[in-house]
Structure 1
Amino acid sequence: MHPTTQTAGMRMLRPIHPLQQTMAAFGVLAALSAHYGYSSAYAVLKPLPMVWGMACVWFLARPSRYPIAWALLLLALLLSMVGDICLLFERGFVLGLGAFLCAHLAYLGVLRRETPQWLPSKAAFVLCALLGAVLYGYLWFSGLPAAVRVPVFAYVCVIVCMAAQAIGRALYLRTTAPWCVAAGAISFMASDSLLAIDKFVAPIPGVYLWVLGTYYLAQWLIVHGMLPALRER
């Protein structure tokens, strides 16, 4: 049976629910507060998009036809929120990195659903791996501190696999919603790349708008694209 026949419920993305609109609104507010230097407002607003993302998954995809994937998506958003909070503190970078690494592992478990195998597209994996290798090499030769070389390498490997899995899943299913998720994974890679370059290589003008804009967009796209797959038939 063709995958598009098996996943008829995923053929079209659903209308955007007010919970999703609120998630997006808090993301915009968080990015703007960081950009304009409202540090107190930013500290309050930064985790809120993930709170609303979890609300979207909890209320809009329960009961789920894939309960394990549903729980893993909630876990990924929760770990992302923990990472967001850790990165508010100067000494919280490694802890935040670890939280996001675990979040990507949870996303990997979510994206394994409805695919015949891990990394169903070898071409997608090779492309993502090349991009990850280029980024890590650039950071290394630009003075990446020795203390974070191993954690950053592990993180790059995991996010490469997550993005490749999302793209491979979209190529296999060939419907709109999985491509929404894949776009979110690509946006996540872009956000993390910009953050790493700004932190370890050179400051990027308007970095908060770029990093947070692509980050919140990534999370929103993943949630929006996964909701049709997780909803009960």
Structure 2
Amino acid sequence: MSNSAMTTDIPANPPREAQASSLRPALIIFALSGALYMLLDAANAEGLWMAALKIVPIATLLWLAASSLVGTGRTLALVALGFSATGDVLLAIDFPNHFIFGLGAFLLAQLTYAVTFGRRAHFSLCLAGRAFAILVAAGMLAAQVVPAAGDLALPVSFYIVAIVTMALCAAAYRGGSSLLFGGALTFMASDALIAINRFVEPVALAGTWIMLTYYLAQALLVCGLIRAELAARAA
């Protein structure tokens, strides 16, 4: 068989539809496990097993990232998800200063995501608009939360800076940035709910809304990275 025939019969890159379909089983497991955790959490289920169930959706995204990404981007995404899962467990288990430890783990996750997205950042007029929206939203949140955080004002301020940095880097990501930007904004919304519920005033169904936006944010970030990876391979 000639080289030209082989080139014709075996495409260099699998069709994008086939690549997308390979993600579906993991995303189904992600959605079902996330929904199960939120239902049990809303029913006030308790125990260490709930902390384990809480990170199943993130573990599924870890699997998805490990099987779909390559190189340094893959390593950074896995580290960010690993810090996120650690933060989930620390926040779920009641022990002295568990909120500070959980906040620290998520701060590291946000900084790792920022490095991941910042590696392919570019500047444009669109970025200026996105950056303005991010900074206005963060400023409004900080004005409410930081004065009410008391002794935690400094670590909360550091965390706000970290997630704003992540969101700005996501907004500037070259290629496939719409999913990343949506994920960054959803992550900010989830953390805003945590901060307002903890420091300002109780939010109705806070646990459900927090986890719904958190899981959605993580999925959007990982899927955004995968989409950009597929686009780069096809180019």
Match of 2:198 in 1: 199
Aligned to 2:56: 48
Match of 2:42 in 1: 35
Shift of 1:127: 2.3
Percent of aligned pairs with the same amino acid: 30
Which structure 2 residue ranges, 5 or more long, are not aligned?
A: 1-13
Equivalent residue pairs, number:
213
Of the three residues 149, 158, 167, the one matched with 1:144 is 149
CA contact (8 A) 1:136 1:153 kept: yes
Find out whether 1:73 has 2:73 as its counterpart: no
1:228 maps to what in 2?
A: 227
Moved more, 23-32 or 109-118: 109-118
Shift of 1:116: 3.2
- Cα deviation for residue 69 of structure 1 reads 1.3
After the TM superposition, which residues 45-194 of structure 1 pair with which residues of structure 2 at under 5 Å, given as runs? 45-61=53-69, 64=70, 67-90=71-94, 91-116=97-122, 121-141=127-147, 143-145=148-150, 147-169=151-173, 173=175, 177-194=176-193
Say which structure, 1 or 2, has more relative contact order (CA 8 Å, 6+ apart): 1
- On the 8 A contact 1:69/1:109 being kept in 2, the answer is no
Which piece of structure 1 moves more, 222-231 or 206-215? 222-231
What is the distance in 2 between the residues matched to 1:22 and 1:182? 24
The 2-side partners of 1:117 and 1:109 are apart by: 16
TM-score between the two structures when normalised by the length of structure 1: 0.83
d(CA) in 1 for partners of 2:68, 2:222: 10
Does residue 210 (structure 1) correspond to residue 218 (structure 2)? The answer is no
Conserved? CA contact 2:149–2:156, under 8 Å: no
Contact 2:122/2:172 (<8 A) preserved = no
Superimposed CA distance per residue, residues 93-119 of structure 1 (whole angstroms, 9 cap, x where no aligned partner): 01111111110111111112433369x
Secondary structure in 2 matching 1:116 = coil
Is residue 52–residue 89 contact of structure 2 (8 Å, CA) maintained in 1? no
Partner secondary structure for residue 39 of structure 1: coil
Selected match of 1:26 from 20, 33, 40? 33
CA distance in 2, matches of 1:30, 1:210: 12
CA distance in 2, matches of 1:43, 1:86: 9
Structure 1 residues not aligned, in runs of 5+: 1-8
Aligned equivalents of 1:99 and 1:140: distance in 2? 19
Distance across 1 between alignment mates of 2:40 and 2:155: 29
- What whole-Å deviation, never above 9, does each CA across 1:156-209 have from its counterpart, x for those lacking one? 01111111221232xx53xxx421121111110000000111111111111111
Shift of 1:139: 1.4
Q: Report if the CA contact (8 A) 1:125-1:160 is conserved.
A: no
RMSD value, Cα: 2.5
* Structure label with greater radius of gyration: 2
